[in-house]
Amino acid sequence: MQFVVHEQPVGRASTNYIARADLAPFDLEGQVEQLWLKAVDDGSYEVACIPFSAYGIALGDVVVLNDDDYVIEVIRNSWHRTLRLLFTPELPHTDLQKATDEIKTELIEADLLSEWNGARLVAVDLPPDAEPAKLFAVMETAVNAGHAFWEWADARPFVRPA
């Protein structure tokens, strides 16, 4: 089994709980994403990271787990959205560095949270009141040049594992 992990989750706290999201329903057979969660008093959990691979889950959503600590349902939506961008492996390191620096600058200027998985994948949290036009423009330039792909994590709903 291959794990997608969050090295620096945006909601890291000493009381976080780590669970898993099975990625097989999203055509990623044999992969599991490790999600950081905050316990809610009613036995549910609030997502404390920005998902890299799971669909239909965003920062601040409230989820429930099964007995094996897998997310099985989103029970309350935070109305945040996750935008993911993956740079192609063919992009030379110097061009990659320039592009990631531009994205990081726009993330800071827009006051948006993000998590990086390696140097080529970024997941960005977009709260309902976000104004990400400049970030979109920077990302769109990379996508239009054939250097990256982007997607919305809510393009597909969360699917309970079989």
Average pLDDT taken over every residue of the chain? 95
User: In this structure, are 17 and 40 located in the same domain?
Assistant: yes
Q: Please check whether residue 86 lies inside any domain of the structure.
A: yes
∠ CA(6), CA(126), CA(43), 5° rounding? Answer: 60
Owning domain of residue 107: 81-152
Mean pLDDT of 18-28: 94
User: In this structure, are 24 and 37 located in the same domain?
Assistant: yes
Q: Please check whether residue 157 lies inside any domain of the structure.
A: no
CA distance 133 to 84: 15
Last residue of a domain, one of 61, 76, 91: 76
User: In this structure, are 46 and 6 located in the same domain?
Assistant: yes
Exposed/middle/buried for residue 29 (C-beta within 10 Å: 0-12, 13-18, 19+): exposed
Residue from 135, 81, 130, 140 nearest 103 by CA = 135
Exposed/middle/buried for residue 120 (C-beta within 10 Å: 0-12, 13-18, 19+): middle
User: In this structure, are 140 and 124 located in the same domain?
Assistant: yes
User: In this structure, are 88 and 120 located in the same domain?
Assistant: yes
Domain of 102, CATH number, reads 3.30.70.600
Backbone angles phi, psi at 9, to 5 degrees: -65, 140
User: In this structure, are 67 and 87 located in the same domain?
Assistant: no
| Structural domains in the chain (count) | 2
User: In this structure, are 72 and 10 located in the same domain?
Assistant: yes
Please give the structure tokens belonging to residue 19.
């669970």
User: In this structure, are 67 and 20 located in the same domain?
Assistant: yes
Where b means 16+ CB within 10 Å and e means fewer, 84-96 reads bbbbeeebeeeeb
117-158 confidence digits (pLDDT tens): 999 999 999 999 999 999 999 999 999 999 999 999 999 999
Q: Would you place residue 62 in the very low, low, confident or very high pLDDT band (cuts 50, 70, 90)?
A: very high
Please give the structure tokens belonging to residue 137.
């423009």
63-98 confidence digits (pLDDT tens): 999 999 999 999 999 999 999 999 999 999 999 999
Q: Please check whether residue 122 lies inside any domain of the structure.
A: yes
Indicate whether 162 pLDDT > 90. no
Exposure of 158 in the CB half-sphere (CA atoms within 13 A): 21
Mean pLDDT of 98-109: 96
Last residue of a domain, one of 31, 50, 76: 76
Q: Please check whether residue 61 lies inside any domain of the structure.
A: yes
Q: Please check whether residue 45 lies inside any domain of the structure.
A: yes
Last residue of a domain, one of 56, 76, 96: 76
